[in-house]
């Protein structure tokens, strides 16, 4: 697979940059060359979404690469999907949620066994965007709903389908999450 595992986002790839929002619809070439072309186009968009979901650049790179690896394994199906970019974001979101569930399970097993929960590694980034900090306070599933619904500008039906829940759940969770974000931003002297 020719997709680089050493990809690093450039300055224009930060969480605030939105470029190329519209993705071409319809099936793409299902060969290895087709995957490479797709990966070149989709990689930065997937990274942006991953960064918003997890709030950490290194984890977002890992999540992006894991997503691309999964897509490569199933490229015959993914490449012929009606909307391959939407398919890729679904894989990304589900991979993120599965990883969070796995980490939570591991922590629960550790605490039940009498172990101590390790402190998260210190983040040496001085410039934390308040919105990213507020997003990080949301539970992973609620964060995924907010990112997909408002950052990726997806419909309620699309988010519900990707996260395998009802449209009412998406609406109520987004409403509650936005209220929490507004409070957090108001505490910081900002508003949305």
Res 115: pLDDT: 58
Asked if the model's pLDDT at residue 100 lies above 60, the reply is yes
Digit-coded pLDDT (tens) for 121-149:
434 332 246 778 888 899 999 999 998 99
Res 1: pLDDT: 44
Q: Could you tell me the pTM of the whole model?
A: 0.53
Give first-to-last CA distance, the chain, whole Å. Answer: 43
Task: Please calculate the CA angle 82-100-125 and round it to the nearest 5 degrees.
Answer: 100
Res 152: pLDDT: 84
Asked if the model's pLDDT at residue 110 lies above 70, the reply is no
CATH 1.10.10.10 matches 126-192: yes
List the domain boundaries for the chain.
Answer: 25-117, 126-192
Among 77-81, 104-108, 114-118, 145-149, the range scoring the smallest mean pLDDT is 114-118
Top pLDDT among 187 and 84 is at: 84
Digit-coded pLDDT (tens) for 17-29:
333 334 445 555 5
Res 63: pLDDT: 95
- Give me the CATH code for the 25-117 domain, please: 1.10.1740
pLDDT band at residue 8 using 50, 70 and 90 as cut-offs = very low
- Written as one string, the DSSP assignment of 16-76 is T---------S----SHHHHHHHHHHHHHHHHHHHHHHH--HHHHHHHHHHHHHHHHHTHH
Q: Across all residues in the chain, what is the average pLDDT? A: 77
């Amino acid at each position: 697979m020719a997709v680089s595992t050493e990809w690093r986002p450039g300055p224009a790839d930060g969480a605030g940059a939105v470029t190329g929002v519209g993705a071409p619809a319809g099936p793409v070439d299902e060969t290895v060359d087709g995957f490479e072309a797709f990966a070149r186009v989709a990689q930065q968009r997937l990274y942006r979404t991953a960064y918003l979901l997890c709030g950490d650049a290194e984890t977002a790179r890992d999540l992006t690469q894991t997503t691309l690896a999964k897509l490569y394994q199933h490229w015959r199906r993914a490449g012929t999907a009606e909307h391959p970019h939407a398919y890729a974001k679904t894989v990304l979101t589900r991979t993120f949620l599965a990883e969070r569930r796995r980490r939570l399970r591991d922590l629960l097993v550790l605490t039940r066994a009498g172990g101590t929960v390790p402190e998260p590694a210190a983040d040496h980034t001085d410039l934390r965007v308040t919105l990213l900090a507020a997003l990080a306070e949301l539970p992973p599933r609620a964060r995924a709903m907010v990112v997909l619904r408002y950052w990726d500008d997806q419909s309620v039906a699309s988010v519900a389908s990707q996260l395998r829940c009802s449209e009412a759940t998406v609406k109520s969770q987004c409403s509650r999450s936005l209220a929490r974000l507004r409070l957090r931003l108001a505490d910081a002297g900002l508003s949305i």
